Amino acid sequence: MEKKYEHYFESLLDNMIEGVAIHNMIFNEDGVPIDYKIIDTNKNYENILGLERNYVKGKLASEIYGYVPALQEYSDIVLNKKPMKFRLFYDNKYFDISSSPWNDIGFITIFSDITDNIELENTLKDSYLFTENLINTANVMIIGLDINGRVNIFNKTAEKLTGYNKDEIIGKNWFKDVKILPKDSLPMVRNVFNTLLSDDESLNITENPIITKHGEIRYILWQNNEVRKGEKVTGTISFGLDITERKIFESELIKAKERAEQSDKLKMAFLSNMSHELRTPINSIIGFSEMLKDNSIKNIEKINYLDIIIQNGDILTNLINDIIDITKIDSGTLSVQKTEIDINKLLLELKKQYIKLLKTNKVKLNIDIDLNNNIFILSDKYRLKQILMNLMSNAVKFTKKGTIKFGYNILQNNKLRIYVKDTGIGISKEDLKIIFNRFAQFDQPGESRNKGAGLGLPISKSLCEILGYGDLKIESELNKGSMFYFDIPFIIKDENYTYKEDKDCENINLENVDILIVEDDQNFRTILKSYLKSTKCKIHIDDGSDALNIITKHKINLVLLDLGLGNIDGYNILKEIKKYDKNIIVIVQSAYAISEFSKKAFDMGADDFIPKPITKTQLFMSINKFI
């Protein structure tokens, strides 16, 4: 979300016709402003001043200009937290400056080169009898008033901007007869007029809206001057620049700034939560790993410590995956790949998995499916399984006794209602309002806070929407249990349906199978060798530099290929293996766990893809598919 708003902010700046610069004030030890640093500029800053953005960014004003322009004015803006408009003369040019506080020590300056306007203004001061052609070719409004407020100059640009013809305005009183000024602006404009007649130049730069003949509101920046004949003031002349677009840009800048600040707050809250959630399992892993070094600890205690390390490793892996998913959901880059899925098989696999996780006989796990029908759905298997595992894990976590039931009901219009129901602690009506908020965790009376980052449900809700399931719905009552469910279309295939159990993946026989491990990480090589030791396979190992040579010299049946091999491209190795012999099984195992990497691997011929970290069961399940 933050990237999106930063890009919008930069685009607004670069499309402004004025120059823009963002600064931070520099103070001395006594807190007195002494200089300011340029943080960033827009393209027209370069065009107007001839100073490149990359040259000025990060430099002090004194380094760039040789002195500190308008230090007093900018100091007042920062210290008083109030915007200011003023004129600046620099490098033989005049500039209109509009500056506002940006943050505690910063300010943003919007400026335009008005040198041409000043020269025109000086010419008009020297002679009241300027030519009609000069007035009408000016690209700013020119309004002249006599000492009684009657209009005596109304140029072509004024006609164009207001919609009024010169003949409709000339001779009329600007304050009483002409309907161009809004009522709430009249006192200010009249005050400026009277001040100019009194020979006071303190209000010569002003800004106010006007109403066109067609009722449109436009914003005009005025340069106001008295007109003299000799020493006598005979009226006023005002040059008006249409700044309507700039006002819109300023408004958008403020909104973009507010959105960016809100994004920063959300990001900091996210990082703060993530820091805590990441440190918790890491602390357990490091702590219990250190304790394993103590020779006085009994073996049974060491086994318990190892279980804790493995559990926290799983927590850490799931948390990292959740962070990646949240980031992709927020950026709109999470993609899905829908295929036909045997829903009965998927749910039976989950039952087998979660029976092992139930550590008490006080909770029964029941499955509700129709084994008499061959029911298929079109979905992304990985993401659907992710949703169900989030819901199942919560049910296991919050149910101390009773029943967990999951499966589906067949509805009308060829839809399944897939659900997970438990008799756990339930959720209060107040907590139901925020159940899908990120990091939402709830304390129940007499219960300690359940571990978890509070990301599973918001991710599941977003995945349901991305997959086209609609809302992830919930029904819950405190102390009685909860049910989460969503609806999805299905089809029944005509073939006779018989569910077959997967092969036992705890022990497999790979005798007479040659396996090549292509991995540059020594620790992970050791892990894979340890996993495969009981299978009786013949193991070959390479870091990627000699993989093809080993394949040609030995009868390799299966390759375990890492994609990240230092300076060697794992994808190229995959391509060359399949080019040499497309029948060689290649199982990619990589820390690049994002779906784009797995899709690329499959497109290049990979037979399977396992994201690291990899368990022994995951490895054997993958090998079992092919051997």
Burial pattern 453-479, b for ≥16 Cβ within 10 A else e, equals bbbbbbbbbbbbebbebeebebebebe
Domain harbouring 561, CATH code: 3.40.50.2300
What pLDDT does 285 receive?
80
CA nearest to 599, candidates 382, 319, 388 = 382
The pLDDT value recorded for residue 1 is: 38
| Token pair recorded at residue 382 | 């990985």
Length of the chain: 627
Of the candidates 276, 309, 331, which is a domain's last residue? 331
What sign has the CA pseudo-torsion 179, 184, 186, 189? negative
Whether residues 404 and 296 share a domain: the answer is no
Query: What are the pLDDT digits (tens) for 538-559?
Result: 999 999 889 999 999 988 999 9
> Is the distance from CB of 19 to CB of 12 less than 8 angstroms?
no
Please check whether residue 248 lies inside any domain of the structure: no
Residue 440 clears pLDDT 90, i.e. is over it: no
How many structural domains is the chain composed of?
A: 5
- Give residue 339's pLDDT band: very low, low, confident or very high (50, 70, 90): confident
Domain CATH number, residue 306: 1.10.287.130
Is the preceding omega at residue 613 within 30 degrees of 0, hence cis? Answer: yes
Residue 565 has pLDDT above 90, yes or no: no
Q: How confident is the prediction for the chain on average, in pLDDT? A: 83
Using an 8 Å Cβ cutoff, are 347 and 367 in contact?
Answer: yes
Domain boundary among 113, 131, 155: 113
Give the closest residue to 427 by CA, choosing from 499, 496, 352, 478: 478
Asked if residue 108 and residue 121 are part of one domain, the reply reads: no
Q: How far apart are CA 376 and CA 187, in angstroms?
A: 75
Looking at residue 448, what is its pLDDT? 45
Residues of the domain holding 286: 261-331
Residue 285 lies in a domain: yes
**285 and 357 belong to one structural domain:** no
User: Could you tell me the pLDDT band of residue 245, with boundaries at 50, 70 and 90?
Assistant: confident
CATH for 140: 3.30.450.20
- Nearest-angstrom CA–CA distance, 13 and 42: 6
State how far the Cα of 491 lies from the Cα of 495, in Å rounded to an integer: 12
| Domain presence at residue 464 | yes
Q: What is the mean pLDDT of residues 575-594?
A: 86
- The domain boundary, picked from 493, 526, 556, lies at 493
User: Which pair of tokens denotes residue 238?
Assistant: 């005002």
* CB crowding 383-419: b at 16 or more within 10 Å, else e: bbbbbbbbbbbbbbbbbeeeebbbbbeeeeeeebebb
Q: State the average pLDDT over residues 501-525.
A: 80
Asked whether the predicted pLDDT for residue 504 surpasses 60, the reply is no
CB distance 419 to 407 below 8 Å: yes
Task: Determine the Cα–Cα distance for residues 111 and 51; give it in Å rounded to an integer.
Answer: 14
Q: Does 481 lie in the same domain as 362?
A: yes
Helix, strand or coil, per DSSP, at residue 244: helix
- CA dihedral defined by 189, 193, 195, 199, rounded to 10 degrees? 150
Together in a domain, 370 and 469: yes
pTM for this model (two decimals): 0.47
Q: Say if CB 305 and CB 293 are below 8 A apart.
A: no
Residue 601 has pLDDT above 80, yes or no: yes
Contact 383, 336 (CB under 8 A): yes
Q: How many CB atoms lie within 10 A of CB 564?
A: 16
Statement to judge: residues 221 and 139 lie in one domain: yes
Q: What whole-number distance in Å separates Cα of residue 539 and Cα of residue 29? A: 69
Q: Which residue has the higher pLDDT, 151 or 504?
A: 151
Q: Does the pLDDT value for residue 79 go beyond 90?
A: yes
Is 509 part of a structural domain of the chain?
A: no
279, pLDDT greater than 90: no
